Amino acid sequence: MVNGSSWPRGDVMRVSVLGATGSIGASTLDLIGREPAQFAVQAVTANSNAVALAALAKKHGAKLAVVSDPAAYAALKSTLAGTGIDVAAGPAGLEVAAAMEADCTVAAIVGVAGLAPALIAVARGQRVALANKECLVSAGRFFMANVRRHKTELLTIDSEHSGVMQVLETRNRDQVVKVTLTASGGPFRTWTAEAIATASLEQALQHPNWTMGPKITIDSATMMNKGLELIEAQHLFDLAPAQLDMLVHAQSIVHALVEYSDGSVLAQLAQPDMRLPIALALNWPRRRPTPTPRLNLATAPALTFEAADETRFPCIRLSREAMQRGGGATAALNAANEVAVAAFLAKRCKFGHIAQVVSASLDLLDGRGLLGEPQNVGAVMELDGETRRVAAETLAGLGDGR
């Protein structure tokens, strides 16, 4: 999508996977494991699950395995003793993994915790396959400036953005009227506002179409995920907020639509399977066979589309407002959301509190004049930290929300 060249070049592609033990990490390594002649694994990382990471490192012959949590280092070291696989831990270890020589680094850590390693990978000027949308929501301007400066090939691993990438005609870039991302609507698509407000964790984790990590699954249930994705698309494709829209499409078969000035709308369709956008990001601009089930429109369910409901899903409005406002608002939106979702996952607040905490945190920071344009990534991370403190206080003020 940016600075694209061509793979495969006939030689083996060396791939590092940051966030290897997660949902995207697992799908990436599944694809890599199917084509051992095509790919070689360099570094793999995880937060704290040393046993799972060691198993992946051994299975795929990785050169380096890193746990972010220093407390998990001893377990990783002993499990990989005698294998010849290097081990490291903590932020410094993560930096070494991100900086390791590789033809493609898959950035699949969840949350803003993945920003620093993703920026290190970007600075290497090789291909980066980006799953971590929070990077772009928090620091999109700086992230994309680094991509341009280092001439990095940036490919998206987000199904809707991969869809946009496939139907965005480079020669007609100036004729794009609107880019629409579809949303499944999540498990509460047909629920009333009252029922949604008190939905349980188990209900919120039941995504109808996708199997994903816990944070993005909750983001899909609040529909914050689609709001984050509009901001992601704004930066990835250099679009104005007014050019971005969303549409609820419960079947998750049409992933994105691009409307041009002549009235033509180009859409990308496929079965919902993350291995497809991952394979495309690895092989871009080539397509190679994937294990994704084929789409048969004669037998597929009828495709339906409806407008998103900002009243029942207030996170859509909050994210749109933050996108329009720009500056530090999107970084704060992301940080407050990370805190609120973590609290809900830990059963420390109600589902309806997520939007409340995000909204109240943004208002408080705005009142203190803190949502101006951050001048560098350090300032983004300072705002992220301050927002986390404000959001935690807001949560504490809710009392026992269970």
| Cα-based torsion angle of the residue sequence 59, 62, 63, 69 in order, rounded to the nearest 10 degrees | -100
83 phi and psi angles, rounded to 5 deg: -90, -15
Contact residue for ligand NAD among 2, 77, 124, 210 (CB under 6 A) = 210
> Tokens 């998206």 correspond to what residue?
156
Query: What is the Cα–Cα distance from 346 to 169, expressed in whole angstroms?
Result: 44
Sheet holding 265-269, edge to edge: 244-248, 176-183, 254-260, 265-269
Within positions 268 to 307, which residues make up the interface with ligand NAD, using CB under 6 A?
274
Quote the least distance from Cβ 357 to Mg ion, whole Å.
23
What is the Cα 118 distance to its own chain's centre?
12
Which residues 6+ apart lie within 8 Å of 58 measured at CB? 80, 83, 85
By CB under 6 A, is residue 21 in contact with ligand NAD? yes
Q: Which residue number, 162 or 394, has a Cβ lying nearer to Mg ion?
A: 162
Smaller CB separation from ligand NAD, 189 or 215: 215
- Decide: is 24 part of the binding site for ligand NAD (CB under 6 A): yes
Token look-up 């579809």 returns 182
For residue 338, give both structure tokens.
Answer: 């990370």
- Nearest to ligand NAD of 62, 108 (CB atom): 108
Q: Strands of 281-349 (E only): list them.
A: none
Q: How far apart are CA 392 and CA 341, in angstroms?
A: 11
- State yes or no: residue 44 binds ligand NAD (CB under 6 A): no
CB of 213 to ligand NAD, least distance (A): 3
Closer to Mg ion at the Cβ: 21 or 159?
A: 159
Span 56-75, contacts to ligand NAD by CB under 6 A: 68
Q: DSSP label at 187?
A: T
Distances (CA, A) of 83 to 50, 64, 76, 94: 15, 11, 12, 20
Q: How far is the CB of 394 from ligand NAD (least distance, A)?
A: 22
For position 386 contacting Mg ion by CB under 5 A, the verdict is no
Does 338 participate in binding Mg ion (rule CB under 5 A)? no
**Closest distance of CB 132 from ligand NAD, Å:** 4
| Candidate list 134, 158, 219, 232; residue touching Mg ion; CB under 5 A | 158
Q: How far is the CB of 347 from ligand NAD (least distance, A)?
A: 18
Q: Which is nearer to Mg ion, 138 or 159 (CB)?
A: 159
Can you give the binding site for ligand NAD, defined by CB under 6 A? Answer: 19-25, 46-47, 68, 108-110, 113, 131-134, 158, 210, 212-216, 274
